Amino acid sequence: MATEAQALTGDWGGGVHPYRVGHRKLGMWLFIMSDSLTFSALLMGYAYLRASNVWPTPFKFYPSIVFSSVMTLVLLSSSLTMVMAVSASARRDKSRARMWIIATALLGATFIVLHSIEWSHLIGEGLRPFQLPAEWIERWPGSTPLFGATFFGITGMHMFHVFTGCIYLFVVAARVNNLKHEDVEISGLYWHFVDLVWMFVFPMIYLLSIDPRK
């Protein structure tokens, strides 16, 4: 009887940590689940509007595609430095963990700067949340002004996540001596999630709207 019960509860084992992660880490996973649904809903809304409207495909090779590709490189590299931070923290090498976390946050800040420059190019062309530049309307007659709303909405929401992630990482770097290893790992989970979201935003927003002529 006892062995049968053990077999049934084998994976849990009846301990206080059914998932073998602390309650904070489980909380972060639950937050990531809800946040991934937020971004899914935004991207689905974008896809809905795109399928039901004439949609401009305005992104030139330079600046938009070059900038967004470099931003992707920066964000992927920041994920690598974050993994290095977590593995240094697991070895209890706090000073190296702090160095890698700061490197991650600085790469995140680089992403925000590059994205702001990319935004200012488009704003300079005349793109607004509910208004297209006159040239685009000539080129794609009847195209919807909601292009700007989805573009600024989705990339802005992502940039906001990068921004809060940077603040979070700087706080973790400052307090790394007082934090447990798992707390560093949790900040890593959030950062990797922000990177993961960009892996969908970049192809859907940028690569599907490349201007083939420029």
Partner 1 sequence: MSAHAESEEHFAGSKRLFLSVWIWLLLLTGFEVFLGYVQLPVVYMLVILMGASIVKAALIVAYFMHLRFERLNLVLTIVPAVVVCICLLLVFFPDSFRAKHLRYGLPAAADKP
Q: Which residues bind partner 1 (CB under 8 A)?
A: 11-22, 26, 29, 32-33, 36-37, 40-41, 44, 47-49, 51-54, 57, 65, 69, 72-73, 76-77, 79-80, 82-84, 86-87, 89-90, 92, 139-143, 180-182, 185, 188-189, 192-193, 195-196, 199-200, 202-204, 206-208, 210, 212
Alpha-carbon dihedral 48, 51, 57, 58, rounded to 10 degrees? -40
CB nearer to partner 1: pick between 36 and 131: 36
CB nearer to partner 1: pick between 20 and 175: 20
Query: Least distance (Å) from partner 1 to the CB of residue 20?
Result: 5
What phi, psi does 210 have (nearest 5°)?
-75, 135
Whether residue 53 contacts residue 144, with contact meaning beta carbons closer than 8 Å, is answered with yes
Query: Least distance (Å) from partner 1 to the CB of residue 186?
Result: 11
Query: Least distance (Å) from partner 1 to the CB of residue 169?
Result: 15
Query: Least distance (Å) from partner 1 to the CB of residue 184?
Result: 10
CB nearer to partner 1: pick between 47 and 134: 47
Rounded distance between C-alpha atoms, residue 163 and residue 71, angstroms: 14
Query: Least distance (Å) from partner 1 to the CB of residue 57?
Result: 7
